[in-house]
A and B are shown apart, each in its own frame.
Chain A
Amino acid sequence: AQTVTQSQPEMSVQEAETVTLSCTYDTSESDYYLFWYKQPPSRQMILVIRQEAYKQQNATENRFSVNFQKAAKSFSLKISDSQLGDAAMYFCAYRLYTGTASKLTFGTGTRLQVTL
């Protein structure tokens, strides 16, 4: 079974600084997606970034980028120029590439605080 591990229950970053959230996963599959979701206090899940495992290039979305190390099964999220609105729970997630019913497996989450 696939597992996703987030070893940092809480992280803190100052506004405008950069922070990296860690995620590791375990799978025997070769084709899969990896995601970072944000859950602010409203509890609405928001997709931050997605990475297809077959792509070697790391995904980027504005201030958000990932460091995808397939061999090491590592998928960290870097947030640059942190803003107060980035404060939230961040969940790393894994999903098989094929099959419309394939499930998301979530990590335990990292709570990010952004300070002035």
Chain B
Amino acid sequence: GAVVSQHPSWVICKSGTSVKIECRSLDFQATTMFWYRQFPKQSLMLMATSNEGSKATYEQGVEKDKFLINHASLTLSTLTVTSAHPEDSSFYICSARDRRGAGNEQFFGPGTRLTVL
């Protein structure tokens, strides 16, 4: 099956620093990648949708200058949390949609736990 990886799996950083999270589709090309945020015991909240070679589309209420998304290729998207603060601590999950599948199957990465001190 299709595999999506995320790196790092967990990261601890100091307040005010920036953190970059990578999302890769390992064995397929992803037309579209999605970034979600999940708080403990809650559902996934879509932050943004990114298409290769174009600007990401952010959901209402998500600060695009704080959460920078780059989708440079059909297999890589990155999320950079700029000037991170403790309230940005969360579990971040990416997913990638396989362009080939008839149902446009969407596969999820294993997530990245961000802790901001």
Contact residues of A with B, CB < 8 Å? 33, 42-47, 50, 52, 91, 95, 100-104, 106-109
Query: Are the C-beta atoms of A44 and B31 separated by less than 8 Å?
Result: no
Known contacts A104-B46, A108-B43; is-contact A44 B108 (Cβ 8 Å):
yes
Contact bitstring B31-59, A, C-beta under 8 A = 1, else 0: 11010001000111010010100000100
Cβ distance B34 to chain A, nearest Cβ, rounded Å = 7
Contact residues of B with A, CB < 8 Å? 31-32, 34, 38, 42-44, 46, 49, 51, 57, 91, 93, 95, 97, 99, 103-106, 108, 110-111
Which residues of B lie under 8 Å from residue A43 when comparing CB positions?
A: 38, 91, 93, 110-111
Query: Are the C-beta atoms of A91 and B44 separated by less than 8 Å?
Result: yes
Q: Who on chain B is nearest to A104 by CB? A: B106
Query: Are the C-beta atoms of A42 and B32 separated by less than 8 Å?
Result: no
Which residues of B lie under 8 Å from residue A91 when comparing CB positions?
A: 43-44
Query: Are the C-beta atoms of A42 and B110 separated by less than 8 Å?
Result: yes
Which residues of B lie under 8 Å from residue A45 when comparing CB positions?
A: 44, 93, 95, 108
Contact residues of B: prevailing secondary structure: strand
Cβ distance A77 to chain B, nearest Cβ, rounded Å = 16
Cβ distance A55 to chain B, nearest Cβ, rounded Å = 12
Which residues of A lie under 8 Å from residue B43 when comparing CB positions?
A: 91, 106-109
Cβ distance B39 to chain A, nearest Cβ, rounded Å = 12
6 further contact pairs, Cβ within 8 A, besides A43-B110, A44-B111, A91-B43:
A100-B32, A104-B34, A104-B44, A104-B46, A108-B43, A109-B43
Known contacts A44-B108, A45-B108, A106-B43; is-contact A50 B103 (Cβ 8 Å):
yes
Query: Are the C-beta atoms of A108 and B110 separated by less than 8 Å?
Result: no
Tell which of B46, B57, B97, B111 touches A100, judged by Cβ atoms closer than 8 Å.
B97
Tell which of B38, B49, B93 touches A101, judged by Cβ atoms closer than 8 Å.
B49
